[in-house]
Amino acid sequence: MLLLTCPFCGPRDESEFAHGGYARKQRPDNPQMMSDDAWVDYLTVPDNPMGPVREKWWHVRGCGTYFTVERDTRTHDITDEGESHAS
């Protein structure tokens, strides 16, 4: 069970959070202007590294904040605690 640091509540057990998927570029404002390939690439091709990966977590059983952390997939080390997206 990971120890994740919510930017609002501080360090909490993983059981309070839901995984929010890999962090990817922010959704484009005008997908209509993108080629099919670019859209499909944005939507369906996440990095799958053996090593640090940026991913979102949602403090669903807490304050409700989404935040991004960098986690090493080999060791579970949190290499960047990240911060909340909401201002």
Footprint on this chain of another protein (rule: CB under 8 A): 1-3, 13, 18, 20, 26-27, 29-32, 34, 36, 39-40, 43-44, 56, 58, 60, 64-66, 75-76, 78, 84-87
Tell the smallest beta-carbon distance from residue 47 to another protein (Å): 17
Nearer to another protein, 9 or 86 (CB): 86
Nearer to another protein, 40 or 49 (CB): 40
**Sign of dihedral through CA atoms 49, 52, 56, 59?**
positive
CA separation for the pair 52, 54 (Å, rounded): 7
Tell the smallest beta-carbon distance from residue 55 to another protein (Å): 12
CA separation for the pair 55, 71 (Å, rounded): 7
CA separation for the pair 75, 87 (Å, rounded): 31
The pair of structure tokens assigned to 16 is 């309070």
**Residue 78 in contact with residue 5, Cβ under 8 Å?**
yes
Tell the smallest beta-carbon distance from residue 75 to another protein (Å): 7
Nearer to another protein, 49 or 60 (CB): 60
